[in-house]
Copies of this chain bind each other. A is one copy, B any other.
Amino acid sequence: MAKPTMSDVATRAGVDVSTVSRALNPKTAGMLRTETVERVVGAARALGYRPNALARGLRTQRSHTVGMLIPDLTNPFFPPIVRGVEDALETADYTLIVANTDNDPRREERSLQTLIARQVDGLLIATSHVDGDEEEPFDLSLPVVLVNRRSGRAHPSIVPDDSQGVALVVEHLLGLGHRHVGHIAGPADTSTGRTRATAFSEQATKAGVFDPRCVQTAPLFAVEEGRQACDELLERCPELTAIFAANDLLAVGCLRAVRARGLRVPDDISLVGFNDMPLVDLLDPPLTTVRVPQYDMGFQAGQLLLARLATPAVSAAPAAVELPGSLIVRRSTAAPA
């Protein structure tokens, strides 16, 4: 037999398919005689019966599936988050479908349509695209949880506490004696980029070390963009002794730009990243950075979504949970010469 169905099991056990359904569902097995349940379970096992989740989903109007939108799996920042989400969902037997959007609105829209067609019960959004101005594109009467992205509207979100992380960085650099600190900001259409840039300017201003000229925005969170931005920054602000990059990829690019100018890290320029990506501890020099609890973010986001899925009465005000980071001091920072 190719794929035994419930009715095959029913035939073999000599009962109705509704009885099979009840026997195989822990929630309803109680209404049956133990003997019946045993007979059905035995028949199911003998046939190698596997429930059809599609059929069940169609009938119950719940696919037990959740969709997740991320920019790019290939960006090392995301895998730990996705893993956290999966591990959280697994506890409730939900399946995750992740879609890469490359932060392309067209792809994002397509992915969203695909997920909706697949009847996902909820959505996790980790794309960094900011859509505050446009009409809210995710008003699809589906529970949504934002990850690593601030809520413009009515969705709860799990984000790193960027402001706290930036404070750690500024404090560290000031403590080392730096007075000229530049910033490679992340893309302006990115909540993460903006939040970190804002936090930096506020805190650096408060500390009296802020020079608005010494901030350069990278158009993408990527190595090459970081290199270019940093190159321009160094050109414009040769007095800098320290640079805070809005993420590790940018910092790596910055490292290259610094070297290309014949300068050394940390001797001439101290460098700080953000995220603590895998392997940045093995760079030359090992990168000082802010560790973001990626896995935890994913796990908590998954749990939050599960909670919303369980309680249709979504009365709770959409919260923005901020998870604190920690400064990992390595050898890319030192006192200024």
Q: Which 5 A-B pairs have the closest CB atoms?
A: A284-B284, A279-B279, A53-B117, A73-B79, A53-B118
Chain A 58-101 residues near chain B, CB threshold 8 A: 58, 63, 65, 72-74, 76, 79-80, 82-83, 86, 93, 95-100
Interface string of A46-66 (1 = CB under 8 A from B): 000011111101100001010
Give the interface of A toward B (CB within 8 A). Answer: 2, 50-55, 57-58, 63, 65, 72-74, 76, 79-80, 82-83, 86, 93, 95-100, 113-114, 116-119, 141, 252, 255, 277-280, 282-286
A153 CB to closest chain B CB, in angstroms? 20
Tell me if A's interface is mostly helix, strand, loop or mixed: mixed
- Pairs A–B under 8 Å by Cβ, sample size 22: A2-B141, A50-B113, A50-B116, A50-B117, A51-B117, A53-B117, A55-B58, A65-B118, A72-B83, A73-B73, A73-B79, A73-B82, A73-B83, A73-B86, A76-B76, A79-B79, A83-B100, A86-B99, A86-B100, A279-B283, A283-B284, A284-B286
A181 CB to closest chain B CB, in angstroms? 23
A95 CB to closest chain B CB, in angstroms? 6
Kindly state the separation between the CA atoms of A93 and B118 in the bound complex, as whole angstroms. Answer: 12
Q: Which residue of B lies closest to A283 (CB)?
A: B282
Asked whether A252 and B83 contact (CB < 8 A) given A52-B117, A55-B58, A95-B114, the answer is no
Q: Which residue of B lies closest to A86 (CB)?
A: B100
Residues of B within 8 A of A252 (CB): 279, 282
Residues of B within 8 A of A63 (CB): 54
Kindly state the separation between the CA atoms of A196 and B97 in the bound complex, as whole angstroms. Answer: 34
Residues of B within 8 A of A114 (CB): 93, 95
Kindly state the separation between the CA atoms of A99 and B90 in the bound complex, as whole angstroms. Answer: 10
Cβ-defined contact, A54 with B283, below 8 A: no
Residues of B within 8 A of A278 (CB): 74, 76, 279
Cβ-defined contact, A98 with B95, below 8 A: no
Cβ-defined contact, B283 with A118, below 8 A: no
Kindly state the separation between the CA atoms of A97 and B86 in the bound complex, as whole angstroms. Answer: 11
Kindly state the separation between the CA atoms of A50 and B142 in the bound complex, as whole angstroms. Answer: 14
Kindly state the separation between the CA atoms of A73 and B255 in the bound complex, as whole angstroms. Answer: 28
Q: A54, A95, A96, A255 — which one has the most chain B CB atoms within 10 A of its CB?
A: A54
Asked whether A95 and B97 contact (CB < 8 A) given A2-B141, A280-B279, A284-B283, the answer is yes
Asked whether A119 and B53 contact (CB < 8 A) given A95-B97, A280-B279, the answer is yes
A110 CB to closest chain B CB, in angstroms? 9
Asked whether A79 and B83 contact (CB < 8 A) given A58-B58, A119-B53, A283-B282, the answer is no
